[in-house]
Amino acid sequence: MYQPLADRIRPKSLDDVVGQRQLLGEGGLLRRIIDSGNIPNMIFYGPSGIGKTTVASIIARQTSRKLYHLNATTASISDIKSIVDELDTFLAPNGALVYLDEIQYFNKKQQQSLLEFIEDGRITLVASTTENPYFYIYNAILSRCTVFEFLPVEAEEMVRAVERGFQIACEGRSITIAPETAEEIAHSCGGDVRKAMNAVELLVNSTADGETITPESAAQVAQRSNMRYDRDGDSHYDILSAFQKSIRGSDPDAGLHYLARLLEAGDMISAARRMLVIASEDIGLAYPQCAAIVKACVDSAFQLGLPEARIPLAQAVILMATAPKSNSAICAIDAAIADIRQNGPGDIPSSLKDCHYGGAKKLGRGQTYMYSHDYPNHWVKQQFLPDHLADHRYYEYGPNKTEQAARAYWEKTKGSQP
């Protein structure tokens, strides 16, 4: 029976696990827990192919528990109940460890139904998810589990697994592995051990005895597999967050890096939308023309299409990253919204209400309004906010040259009138 290389190479002990040194290395918290034999309910969070299932299998083996492997996309509560029915029998004499893969696909009712089984200790739950558990797993489960984050495997660690994969896959074959081939795969698989093993297996199966597997052929197999990206997953929002924070932090190189990742993943729309936000949120009134320039660059990008679209988008990123920064606009509107929610909107002053209809004068609408353009410097002192908010202020001038110039102008203008 065919067994994928990724399964054949699966480690049997913690020392053989590739990566996750922060959890499984000497003194790592998860390692200490496993070595103690007192296994709590746990959630393993991280991308696929980095050892979550492997570690669960090792836990079951080291604690002499029967491992039940379920996938939330196909499993149901009846499967959990069937496992409970086997407890205290010769089938599971030391208790059961239930590994529930992709727990985020269990709905709220299904997740809550697990509580009665994990609270009384009849089963030990180890759940895994590729999505942020604090977004997708309900609090009742989270509060009873310890969350461990698994990270993509570093290329230096991955080389070890790739070399071992070639050794196993080439048993009984006369195939030569050229230098740097393992490094090429290790750097191209995006930290995913399973993906690396699939590449190794494909290369070996497509190579005849007496031939050599080269880095060039490895690059063809890997292609763009190092781009770990899901438009609806955590990596999407993590990249966009890093993209905006890099520009806000005035680092053009990092901004271009994250733009390149978005474009390589084919997600120009998300990049463009975020850039339009950044122009007003982070550059704002320090360089008001920036919003118009970024909009022009985005429009040009969509008219051009990729690959040429990368040029105006890069221009906009560099412009924003090197421009002066101000968040006074977002702070001002957020303060206004918070004030309305806390204190209510209030009635609009009668002087500001619409008076362009018959009977408006009888209602006292617009009678005391003063037309600003009839006064020096096109300004006259009057109340615009509702009475109960009349003294509230939302906008604070930023320290940049543009806003300070505006501040000086209006202080001079408003101070010239009694």
For residue 394, the domain's CATH number is 1.10.3710
Global pTM reads: 0.64
∠ CA 219-224-229, nearest 5°, is: 150
> Residue 62: CB partners within 8 Å, gap ≥ 6?
34, 35, 37
| Cα–Cα distance measured from residue 316 to residue 119, given in angstroms and rounded to the nearest whole number | 54
Q: Does residue 73 lie within any of the structural domains? A: yes
Number of structural domains in the chain = 4
pLDDT digits (tens, 9 = 90+) for 5-25: 888 888 888 888 888 889 998
d(CA 92, CA 87): 5
Residue appearing with tokens 């590449």: 199
Residues 6+ apart with CB under 8 A from 139: none
CATH of the domain at 258: 1.20.272.10
Do 143 and 53 have their domain in common? yes
Considering the domain architecture, whether residues 217 and 239 belong to the same structural domain is answered as no
Q: Does residue 53 form part of some domain? A: yes
Q: Which of 93, 123, 149 is the last residue of a domain?
A: 149
Provide CB contacts within 8 A for 329, sequence distance 6+.
280, 281, 284, 285
Residues 38 and 140 in one domain: yes
Shared-domain flag, residues 136 and 162: no
Question: Does 279 lie in the same domain as 368?
Answer: no
Which residues span the domain enclosing 145? Answer: 20-149
Q: Domain with 192 in it: what CATH number?
A: 1.10.8.60
What is the C-alpha separation between 191 and 151, in angstroms, rounded?
Answer: 8
pLDDT of residue 335: 95
Q: Residues 153, 47: contact at Cβ < 8 Å?
A: no
Tell me: do 290 and 368 sit in the same domain. Answer: no
- For residue 88, the model assigns a pLDDT of 60
Distance CA(33)–CA(29), nearest Å, equals: 6
Does 52 share its domain with 95? yes
Please indicate, yes or no, if residue 159 is contained in any of the structural domains: yes
- Final residue belonging to a domain, choices 120, 149, 178: 149
Looking at the fold, whether 31 and 115 belong to one and the same domain comes out as yes
For residues 209 and 292, membership in a common domain is answered with: no
SS3 of residue 74 by DSSP = coil
Same domain, 33 and 135: yes
Q: CB–CB of 27/71 below 8 Å?
A: no
Q: Hey, what are 379's tokens?
A: 């300004």
Q: Name the E strands within 80-171.
A: 96-101, 123-129, 146-149
Q: Are residues 364 and 379 in the same domain?
A: yes
pLDDT at 233: 56
Q: Tell me whether residue 241 is in a domain.
A: yes
Measured between alpha carbons, how far is 203 from 212 in angstroms, rounded to an integer?
Answer: 10
Q: How far is CA 405 from the centre of its chain?
A: 39
Query: What pLDDT score was predicted for residue 26?
Result: 86
- 340-359: buried (b, 16+ CB within 10 Å) or exposed (e) per residue? eeeeeeeeebebbeebeeee
Q: What is the pLDDT along the chain (418 residues), one digit of tens a residue?
A: 678 888 888 888 888 888 888 999 888 999 999 988 888 999 999 888 888 989 999 998 888 888 888 998 888 888 888 887 777 655 555 667 889 999 988 888 888 888 877 887 778 889 999 888 888 888 888 988 999 999 888 888 889 889 989 989 888 888 889 988 988 888 888 788 888 888 888 898 888 888 999 888 888 876 655 555 555 556 778 899 999 999 999 999 999 999 999 998 888 999 999 999 999 999 999 999 999 999 999 999 999 988 899 999 999 999 999 999 999 999 999 999 999 999 998 888 888 888 776 666 767 777 788 889 999 989 999 999 999 999 999 999 999 999 999 999 999 998 866 5
In a domain? residue 327: no
Q: What is the pLDDT of residue 117?
A: 79
Strands, E, within 58-154: which ranges?
A: 66-71, 96-101, 123-129, 146-149
Domain boundary pick from 149, 166, 185:
149
Q: Does residue 34 sit within a domain?
A: yes
| Residue 374 shares a structural domain with residue 403 | yes
